[in-house]
């Protein structure tokens, strides 16, 4: 039997864990052409064994793959360059395998490895180079200025900004005619034309072109100049060029009103090509413009084809074309020609007579007049005024020339009165000082008006109205008041008429024997309770019927033998021609009334305020027939239609009675 005891057991470490690279593999870079020993990257391995016991956790680094380009420090794990002048252009990527071994690298130790991918970065260690030293290009002389005519490219093995190239033209002759720039995408040198080419003057150009890097590294200047040059020969091609005018534009002058065919000027052009072909001239025509000029095709002389008027068109702009003679679709050139029409004194001065001149009743100086001239100021800068023949045409007025191209009309009377004479006509002659001197006579209309005192306000329209009516202002006010009073009376009368009489108030409880009460009042003429047949009519149709009563009859029959009817002629009768057949007209209206569906089915009376004319029997009225003997032979009534049989009988008896009365009167007279 013994007490409990405590024992401490210590586990002794053994080398049972290999070194590891927890973050591998690795990627890094180093500039090309670096010196030997340049640090590239550092690797670190970890070991889980006890570092305090023996060498189980003591790690040593070594390089398994990557020699002879790189090396590694056994203790620190720093990778360095081991070979000088490593060129990226020769080899860019390297894969280096690093091993870590514990037990300080002794036999029996455990190991682990990782990979480090190393890339060489570019440096500007290669100058640009042209693939060849001589180039040639063909450029036609018609090439446009500012357009590319050729390209060149220098190669550079570097990349990025180290390969950027700048091109330049070294010789002054080439730099004066051409320019070169760098295309950023393709890194080509683009040659552009700066001035127009002329095959006849120079057929060849030689350009010395240089290419150099824009970003230089001073560490590699020992390698030499980072620049290369080449020669570009440009051959100018001959092109059939259009003619060239001697001037860029022409300005010509010609006087107006010159005869047709007058020479205005001439243009000249030449063929710039070596063969110097003849040139022909034309004027460009436009459909919307009149043709005033023509040009001789050989000489280039421009002449007028119409009379020119400066006041209508002072400037004419035309375009002249020149082309080589012969050939097919020859190129042509254009030049603007401006023709100025010079003025001659062909328009007399005029005085504005459209507006009336107002004369105040108490003024002496009426108005200052001026003249206008369509001619140029050189032919119309000064005007003179006077009366025709120098004698005043009206004794009431005189004219004063102010000698400044104006004149004043002065009254010779102290006062004018519009009731005596309202309008005056005054002829005035105006001259210009052109060559030749021209003049015109204008008639001024002067109207007498009243003017307010102290102001320049001239009143004519209101006064003219009052004077023509013969009424004063007071009379007009009195008439206006009378109209207002009459209007008030009419309104009052209408108001009183519309007011109704109040009915007697009789109590319903008032009971009287044998009394019957009626509380309605008869309307008399205003009673509208009666039946009105017009309510049955269609209002639109009633208006149409009312309008058709005044329509002339459409059917006429010529009665050339009728004479005007005797008796009265109603002033309200229709104005119907003598050739009208009233019977046919009435029949037509009766048929229209029978067939009209807009009226109720009852007979209606159609009234026509018309009395027949031109009957051979004259008037059938008995008025005045007893006291005068009619010369009409009524025997012709027997020849009429049976409708007039009764009328023939009546007038036959009346004729006999009238004859007996006449014979009796004659016998009594003889007695």
Per cent of the chain over pLDDT 70 is 70
The residue out of 342, 369, 401 marking a domain boundary is: 342
Do 404 and 432 lie in one domain? The reply is: yes
Cα 624 to Cα 506, 562, 567, 612: the distances in Å are 65, 21, 9, 18
Mean pLDDT of 251-269: 93
> Got the DSSP string for 480-491?
HHHHHHHHHHHH
Torsion of CA 531, 535, 536, 538, to 10 degrees: 170
Which distant-in-sequence residues (6+ apart) come within 8 Å of 432 by Cβ? 345, 348, 349, 373, 375, 379, 380, 382, 383, 438, 439
The CATH code of the domain that includes 394 is 2.60.40.60
Do 159 and 104 lie in one domain? The reply is: no
Q: How many other CB atoms are there within 10 angstroms of residue 227's CB atom?
A: 17
The residue out of 189, 208, 237 marking a domain boundary is: 237
Query: What pLDDT digit, counting tens, does each position of 396-409 carry?
Result: 788 888 888 888 88
Cis amide bond preceding 436, omega within 30: yes
Domain that holds residue 329: 244-342
- Across 194-243, the runs of DSSP E, i.e. the strands, are 204-213, 227-237
pLDDT of residue 546 exceeding 80, the answer is no
- Check residues 532 and 354 and name the one with the higher pLDDT: 354
Residue identified by tokens 């058709």 is 548
pLDDT of residue 515 exceeding 80, the answer is no
pLDDT at 29: 94
pLDDT at 370: 85
Do 226 and 142 lie in one domain? The reply is: yes
Order across the sheet with 293-295: list the strands: 263-266, 301-304, 293-295
Query: What pLDDT digit, counting tens, does each position of 315-331 carry?
Result: 999 999 998 886 545 67
Mean pLDDT of 636-640: 60
Query: What pLDDT digit, counting tens, does each position of 241-250 carry?
Result: 788 899 999 9
Do 259 and 220 lie in one domain? The reply is: no
Which distant-in-sequence residues (6+ apart) come within 8 Å of 488 by Cβ? none
Query: What pLDDT digit, counting tens, does each position of 422-442 carry?
Result: 888 888 888 888 788 888 888
Which distant-in-sequence residues (6+ apart) come within 8 Å of 263 by Cβ? 301, 302, 303
Cα 36 to Cα 28, 143, 223: the distances in Å are 17, 57, 19
pLDDT at 649: 65
pLDDT of residue 636 exceeding 80, the answer is no
pLDDT at 454: 54
pLDDT of residue 352 exceeding 80, the answer is no
Mean per-residue pLDDT of the chain: 78
In the structure encoding, which two tokens stand for residue 405, read together? 């191209």
Residue identified by tokens 């004194």 is 345
Residue 33 is assigned to a structural domain of this protein: yes
Cis amide bond preceding 487, omega within 30: no
Determine the 3-state secondary structure of 163 from DSSP: helix
Do 141 and 232 lie in one domain? The reply is: yes
Q: Are 417 and 361 in contact (CB under 8 A)?
A: yes
Distance (Å, whole) CA 329 – CA 322: 13
Q: Which of 162, 214, 187, 213 is nearest to 32 (CA)?
A: 162
Least confident of 262-266, 387-391, 523-527: 523-527
Residue identified by tokens 């208006």 is 543
Per cent of the chain over pLDDT 90 is 33
Q: Are 600 and 533 in contact (CB under 8 A)?
A: yes
Distance (Å, whole) CA 277 – CA 198: 17
The residue out of 178, 206, 237 marking a domain boundary is: 237
Q: Name the band, by pLDDT with cuts 50, 70 and 90, for residue 193.
A: very high
Residue 535 is assigned to a structural domain of this protein: no
Residue identified by tokens 């023939």 is 648
- The answer to whether the pTM exceeds 0.75 is no
pLDDT at 558: 39
Query: What pLDDT digit, counting tens, does each position of 552-585 carry?
Result: 444 434 333 333 433 334 333 344 444 557 778 8
Do 361 and 415 lie in one domain? The reply is: yes
């Amino acid at each position: 039997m013994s007490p409990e005891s405590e024992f401490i057991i210590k586990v002794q470490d053994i080398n049972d864990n290999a070194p590891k690279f927890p973050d591998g593999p690795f990627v890094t870079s180093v500039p090309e052409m670096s010196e030997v020993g340049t640090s590239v990257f550092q690797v670190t391995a970890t070991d889980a064994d006890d570092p305090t016991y023996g060498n189980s956790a003591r790690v040593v680094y070594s390089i398994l793959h990557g020699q002879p380009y790189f090396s590694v420090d056994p203790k620190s794990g720093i990778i360095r360059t081991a070979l000088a002048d490593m060129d990226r252009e020769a080899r860019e990527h390297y894969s280096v395998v690093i091993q870590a071994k514990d037990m300080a690298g002794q036999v029996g130790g455990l190991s682990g490895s990782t990979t480090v991918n190393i890339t060489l970065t570019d440096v500007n260690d290669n100058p640009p180079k042209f693939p060849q030293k001589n180039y040639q290009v063909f450029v036609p002389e018609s090439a446009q200025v500012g357009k590319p005519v050729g390209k060149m490219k220098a190669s550079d093995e570097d990349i990025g900004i180290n390969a950027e190239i700048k091109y330049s033209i070294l010789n002054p002759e080439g730099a004066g005619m051409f320019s070169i720039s760098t295309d950023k995408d393709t890194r080509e040198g683009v040659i552009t034309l700066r001035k127009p080419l002329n095959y006849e003057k120079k057929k060849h150009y030689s350009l010395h072109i240089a290419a150099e890097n824009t970003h230089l590294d001073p560490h590699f200047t020992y390698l030499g100049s980072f620049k290369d040059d080449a020669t570009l020969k440009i051959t100018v091609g001959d092109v059939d060029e259009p003619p060239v005018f001697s001037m860029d534009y022409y300005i010509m002058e010609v006087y107006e009103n010159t005869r047709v065919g007058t020479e205005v000027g001439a243009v000249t052009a030449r063929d710039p090509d070596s063969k110097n072909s003849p040139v022909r001239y034309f004027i460009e025509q436009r459909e919307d413009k009149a043709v005033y000029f023509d040009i001789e095709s050989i000489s280039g002389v421009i002449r007028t084809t119409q009379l020119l008027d400066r006041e209508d068109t002072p400037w004419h702009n035309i375009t002249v074309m020149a082309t080589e003679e012969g050939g097919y679709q020859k190129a042509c050139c254009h030049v603007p020609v401006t023709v100025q029409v010079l003025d001659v004194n062909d328009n007399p001065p005029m005085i504005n007579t459209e507006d009336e001149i107002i004369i105040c009743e108490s003024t002496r100086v009426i108005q200052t007049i001026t003249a206008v001239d369509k001619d140029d100021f050189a032919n119309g800068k000064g005007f003179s005024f006077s009366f025709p023949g120098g004698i005043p045409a009206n004794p009431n007025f005189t004219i004063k020339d102010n000698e400044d191209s104006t004149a004043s009309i002065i009254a010779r009377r102290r006062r004018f009165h519009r009731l005596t004479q309202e309008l005056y006509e005054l002829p005035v002659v105006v001259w210009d000082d052109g060559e030749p001197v021209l003049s015109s006579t204008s008639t001024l209309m002067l109207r007498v008006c009243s003017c307010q005192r102290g102001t320049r306000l001239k009143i004519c329209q209101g006064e003219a109205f009052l004077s023509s009516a013969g009424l004063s202002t007071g009379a007009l006010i009195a008439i206006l008041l009378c109209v207002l009073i009459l209007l008030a009376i009419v309104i009052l009368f209408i108001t009183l008429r519309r007011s109704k009489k109040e009915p007697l108030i009789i109590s319903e409880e008032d009971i009287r024997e044998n009394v019957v009460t009626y509380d309605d009042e008869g309307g008399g003429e205003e009673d509208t309770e009666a039946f009105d047949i017009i309510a049955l009519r269609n209002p639109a149709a009633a208006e149409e019927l009312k309008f058709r009563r005044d329509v002339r009859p459409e059917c006429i029959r010529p009665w050339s033998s009728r004479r005007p009817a005797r008796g009265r002629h109603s002033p309200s009768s229709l104005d119907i021609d003598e050739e009208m057949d009233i019977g046919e007209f009435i029949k037509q209206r009766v048929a229209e009334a029978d067939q009209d569906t807009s009226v109720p089915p009852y007979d209606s009376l159609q009234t026509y305020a018309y009395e027949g004319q031109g009957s051979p029997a004259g008037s059938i009225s008995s008025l005045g027939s007893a006291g005068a003997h009619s010369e009409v032979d009524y025997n012709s009534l027997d020849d009429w239609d049976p409708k007039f049989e009764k009328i023939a009988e009546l007038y036959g008896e009346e004729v006999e009675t009238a004859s007996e009365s006449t014979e009796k009167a004659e016998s009594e007279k003889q007695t």
